[in-house]
């Protein structure tokens, strides 16, 4: 063989080997469009996704959208342009995603929905799976806990005025937690929601809105018996407002929160909050597993719910089959 052909052969062999090793080393690239960092829950969710992707050796392009839909839309569009392998997505609100979901589908990028859901025609056609909590059930559990609590305190049938701090307007947990709670209280006409407003899932707004609930209740001469907050962060802010108004949270006003973050456990142990309904943000490992399953050619279930509990320091002593002790589980909380 002539030298020039030999050199060409060597070149081709080297090229093939390089390409093969590049393919073997090629990391899976995941774009994740996160809502923001509005709560301890969300921070727990972000940490869980980051850690699980790092453990799996994925390259993660992570965007914090600061609770703004337009930021999420541009992050998703950027993921398409970059040609990521997978998209992870927690939509801040339910609607307004039709166009982008179609674009992602056309680009052939599998989407894994985490935590919140979208509302568009045939929405399940646009994602491989959705992993999260049953928010309607969380609302129902909150109301059922309240009925049990009133029962053991001999307040069954008493007129009970409830104020509600809703989550982000138009988000699936805010819509569903309200629906779930109302599903139960509608059969109990003595339980009334007297004021209801959004606190956007933040502690700061939870406090501000609770202050206005208290002012309005005072001027109307109406007692507030219960606060139902769609997340613990808002409940913590409201507790502050209640204290500043000279009332005793957890006693003068029964406080119900959702998420089961560490701070809620601390408030329960301090007697300032009564119960927290768990919603787990630790979805990173399931998110990574879903990607691995798709890589292996499996078809995923469209919905995966996480298993969650209710924690308090009163009913868990009497009904341990239904409620868990906050004190006992506090040391093992990770968010």
User: Could you list the residues that contact ligand GYE (CB under 6 A)?
Assistant: 38-39, 41-42, 115-116, 173, 201, 231, 233, 258-259, 279
Task: State whether residue 138 is helix, strand or coil.
Answer: helix
How far is residue 324's CA from residue 327's CA, in Å, rounded to a whole number?
Answer: 9
Closest approach of ligand GYE to the CB of residue 155, in Å = 28
How many Cβ atoms are within 10 Å of 89's Cβ, its own excluded?
26
Given the structure tokens 């089959």, which residue do they identify? 321
β-strand 111-114 against 86-89: which pairing, if any? Answer: parallel
Closest approach of ligand GYE to the CB of residue 90, in Å = 7
How far is residue 178's CA from residue 193's CA, in Å, rounded to a whole number?
Answer: 11
| Cβ distance to ligand GYE smaller for residue 116 or 141 | 116
| Cβ distance to ligand GYE smaller for residue 112 or 160 | 112
Terminus-to-terminus CA distance in the chain, angstroms?
A: 68
> b/e string for 36-50 if b means 16 or more Cβ within 10 A?
bebbbbbebbbebbe
Closest approach of ligand GYE to the CB of residue 311, in Å = 15
Burial class (CB in 10 A: 0-12, 13-18, 19+), 123: middle
Closest approach of ligand GYE to the CB of residue 129, in Å = 17
| Cβ distance to ligand GYE smaller for residue 133 or 194 | 133
Closest approach of ligand GYE to the CB of residue 193, in Å = 19
Closest approach of ligand GYE to the CB of residue 233, in Å = 6
How far is residue 119's CA from residue 122's CA, in Å, rounded to a whole number?
Answer: 9
How far is residue 310's CA from residue 137's CA, in Å, rounded to a whole number?
Answer: 11
| Cβ distance to ligand GYE smaller for residue 91 or 249 | 91
Contact, 175 vs 117, CB < 8 A? no
Measured at the CA of 117, the angle between CA 115 and CA 120, to 5 degrees, comes to 165
| Cβ distance to ligand GYE smaller for residue 48 or 194 | 48
| Cβ distance to ligand GYE smaller for residue 146 or 261 | 261
| Cβ distance to ligand GYE smaller for residue 56 or 116 | 116
Closest approach of ligand GYE to the CB of residue 32, in Å = 15
């Amino acid at each position: 063989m002539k030298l020039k052909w030999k050199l060409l052969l060597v070149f081709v062999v080297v090229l093939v080997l390089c390409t093969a090793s590049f393919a073997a080393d090629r990391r899976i690239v995941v774009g994740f469009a996160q809502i923001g960092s509005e709560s301890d829950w969300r921070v727990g969710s972000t940490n869980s996704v980051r850690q699980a992707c790092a453990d799996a050796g994925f390259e993660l392009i992570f965007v914090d959208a600061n609770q703004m839909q337009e930021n999420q839309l541009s992050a998703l569009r950027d993921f398409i342009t970059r040609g990521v392998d997978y998209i992870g997505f927690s939509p801040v609100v339910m609607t307004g995603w039709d166009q982008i979901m179609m674009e992602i589908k056309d680009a052939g990028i599998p989407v894994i929905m985490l935590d919140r859901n979208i509302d568009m025609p045939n929405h399940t056609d646009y994602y491989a799976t959705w992993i999260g909590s049953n928010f309607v059930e969380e609302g129902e559990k909150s109301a059922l806990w309240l009925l049990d609590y009133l029962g053991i305190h001999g307040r069954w049938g008493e007129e009970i005025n409830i104020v509600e701090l809703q989550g982000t307007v138009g988000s699936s947990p805010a819509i569903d937690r309200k629906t779930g709670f109302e599903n139960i209280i509608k059969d109990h006409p003595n339980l009334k929601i007297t004021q209801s407003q959004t606190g956007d899932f933040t502690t700061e707004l939870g406090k501000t809105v609770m202050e206005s609930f208290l002012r309005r209740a005072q001027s109307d001469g109406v007692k507030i018996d219960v606060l139902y907050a769609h997340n613990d962060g808002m409940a913590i802010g409201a507790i502050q407002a209640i204290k500043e108004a000279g009332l005793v949270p957890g006693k003068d006003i029964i406080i119900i929160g959702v998420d089961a973050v560490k701070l809620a456990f601390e408030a329960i142990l301090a007697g300032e909050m009564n119960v927290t309904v768990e919603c787990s943000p630790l979805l990173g490992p399931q998110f990574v597993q879903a990607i691995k399953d798709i890589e292996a050619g499996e078809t995923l279930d469209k919905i995966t719910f996480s298993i969650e509990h209710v924690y308090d320091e009163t009913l868990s002593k009497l009904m341990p089959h239904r409620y868990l002790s906050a004190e006992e589980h506090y040391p093992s909380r990770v968010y």
